[in-house]
Structure 1
Amino acid sequence: MSSPVDPKDEGKHEADPADQLWNESWYFDFATPDGRLGGYVRVGLYPNLGTTWYWAYLVGDGRPLVAVRDHDVPLPKGSSLELRAEGLWADTVCETPLEHWSVNLESFGVALDDPADAYRGERGQRVGFGLDLEWVEAAPPQMSTGLPRYEAACTVQGEVLVGEERIEVDGFGERDHSWGHRDWWSMPWCWTAGRLDDGTAFHAFKPLIDIPFASGFVAPPGGDVENVEHFNVDTDLGAEGLPTRATMELGDLRLSVTPTGHAPIALEAPDGRVSRFPRSLCRFESVADDRAGWGWTEWCQPPTGDS
């Protein structure tokens, strides 16, 4: 992930009209330094399907999962990413290319005591959910190897609103931007990003199939960004396929991973196939030393041939 990112790539790209599943997405996550709160937002445009997928999720110690998932949001107009739908207003703005983005949300979500209820119709208590957050780059954005995609480690500040509660956020996170064919139903994969308490940021992605491909980086504080071309992950799954623990190797960085808050999504294809997509706030602990930290990991679980 060493090629430079063009500032023009922060905006929208022209879709391939022949590819029904051509997708462009902007993704943002965060965690507090103590790991007691975390969340993520994804704006996903499917212009050839005439729709936007919008996700916003919040997890926290002793808190129910708060979920906003709408796959029927009208496409934004022009170069804007402002979205409006019933019970939802969102605006995602590039304030300074490759440096600063703002994420704003006013919506109603559902509170789920059991995160696996996200796989069963997302029936829960209706709750107001708002975001006023800023992502500022903490390291230069890194272009993914062989993919139209880049990632950036960030600091994250602002406010989260849940019902009558107002929560100040001063933490860190990841953002990424990708465009091209996106098929959630064809193969499994793992994506991860986080930061250790010495300031080391890391990211890796790998299809969980028998091909020699991985992409990512390790960014030590004040040092050069190291490319990751070797990423191994071994995951234990519990009820409903939600991960309970994992081990990861990102180049020379070996991590023990403990999911602490789940924010899963059921993804339905145009032909009716359904993938399960657990995303989890995770505690990361270095195997080699006493460093530890927090971040997010996702596991794409496509339908099997019998499903």
Structure 2
Amino acid sequence: MAVSTSDDYFHKRPDHPYWNESGWFSFMQEERDLSGWIYFYHRPSIGYTVGGICAWDNTGSENYDCLCYDWGEPYPMKPDTNMFDFEIDNGLKVNIIEPLKSYKFGYHGANAYTAGGCELDLTFTAPMLPHDAGMPGGLDEWGKGHYDQSGRMKGTLQLGKERIEIDCVSQRDHSWGVRKLNGNPRGQMIWAIGEKSSFHALAVSRLPMDKDPVIGTAEDVIIGYYLKDGLYGDITLGSGTIKVVERDPTGRPVRYLLECTDSLGRKLEAEGRIKNMLNWQGYSWLMTYWSLVEWTFDGQTAYGEGQDYWPLQQSRRFMQSLR
């Protein structure tokens, strides 16, 4: 099903407390190995929004020591709230400029309970329509629908007295449906945007947790795309794998490898080297190693990200086994 402009607004929903509409946008400053995101979700049936920002580099990898972090607190949903048009009390403001094309973000950390001293003024613009991921098998948390879109983010990030100019490639997504936040497997989500071509891919482990060695495995891609010569090619189950080819002594990923063939018959091999790390546990059941990644593919070097995500209890057992 093609993505339409109506998908950038709240969808018709059942009266279900866990109906969820979420949006995520990335930003980076690759010269200083800095990553960041704006992430939010709405629960219209309950009447609250969770949203905020994060920024990190190599000086801190936890939410309590990274450059900036304000995410996780629910705020009352205001009557005029829509998917990409809202403001919440921690200082985050989101506005849609043109559906499926352009969005504006503001943030002002007002006090010690938000990210005081952190300010953000960014605009995302996309040159092409999103890629419709559909309802991927093996990852129930997305719900009913999901799409991904590459673009460019421009503006400024203020960290205390430091003003950082942002002009970078950016990825965004939007999901909607009843969200099931449990029972999802280990996997990876990776993406890169280059001058010649771009890709986005998500993979999951098919092994039971107690039979998953983690080291040496390659996870099956279940959804994704390869964008080249202005054409999207789908990457679907059975068409490729993502592998963490190297981990450090603590289990954190160091290098990624994507090998796949898209629906147009085009082969893609992309190798990624991690440039920073955020150990993110935004949801109680999920642990994610979230990184800026320098990718090599199609004769180019391009930037993007990698998320190596785990069910929390599996990550606990694996990390303990390395001690």
Unaligned stretches of 5+ residues in structure 2: 61-65, 137-144, 208-218, 262-266, 318-323
Is the contact between residue 278 and residue 299 of structure 1 (CA under 8 Å) also seen in structure 2? yes
Q: What is residue 297 of structure 1 aligned with on the other side?
A: 306
2:92 is matched with which residue? 90
- The 1:59/1:304 distance shift into structure 2, 3 A limit, reads closer
TM-score where L is the length of structure 1? 0.80
Percent identical residues: 19
Paired position in structure 2 for 1:254: 269
The 2-side partners of 1:16 and 1:302 are apart by 28
Structure 1: which amino acid aligns with 2:281? A
- Seen in structure 2, the aligned counterparts of structure 1 residues 276 and 73 have a Cα distance that, compared at 3 Å, is same
* Corresponding position of 2:192: 194
Aligned residues: 281
The aligned amino acid for 1:104 is G
Where does 1:256-295 land on structure 2 (aligned, <5 Å)?
A: 256-269=271-284, 274-286=285-297, 290-295=299-304
- Residues 266, 61 of structure 1: alpha-carbon distance in 2 compared, 3 angstrom cutoff: closer
Distance 1:240 1:11 in 2: 42
Please list every run of 5 or more consecutive structure 1 residues that lacks an aligned counterpart in the other structure.
111-122
User: Quick one: which amino acid aligns to residue 189 of structure 1?
Assistant: G
Q: Deviations over 1:112-150 (max 9, x none)?
A: xxxxxxxxxxx9x96521211111112221111335111
Query: In the TM superposition, what are the counterparts of 1:134-153 in structure 2 within 5 Å?
Result: 134-146=123-135, 148-153=145-150
- Name the structure 2 match of 1:242: 252
User: Cα distance, 1:186 vs. partner?
Assistant: 1.5
Tell me whether 1:4 sits opposite 2:2 in the alignment.
yes
1:243 deviation in Å?
2.2
| Aligned counterparts of 1:48 and 1:35: Cα–Cα separation in 2 | 41
Kept in 1: contact 2:255–2:273 (CA 8 A) = yes
* Paired residue secondary structure (1:93): strand
Q: Distance in 1 between matches of 2:91 and 2:166?
A: 21
State TM-score, norm by structure 2.
0.76
| Structure 1 residue 241 displacement after superposition | 4.7
State the SS of the aligned residue for 1:278.
Answer: strand
Q: Which moved more, 1:152-161 or 1:45-54?
A: 45-54
RMSD of aligned C-alpha atoms? 3.0
**Equivalent residue in structure 2 for 1:78, among 42, 64, 80:** 80
- Match of 1:248, as an amino acid? L
Deviation, structure 1 residue 268:
4.3
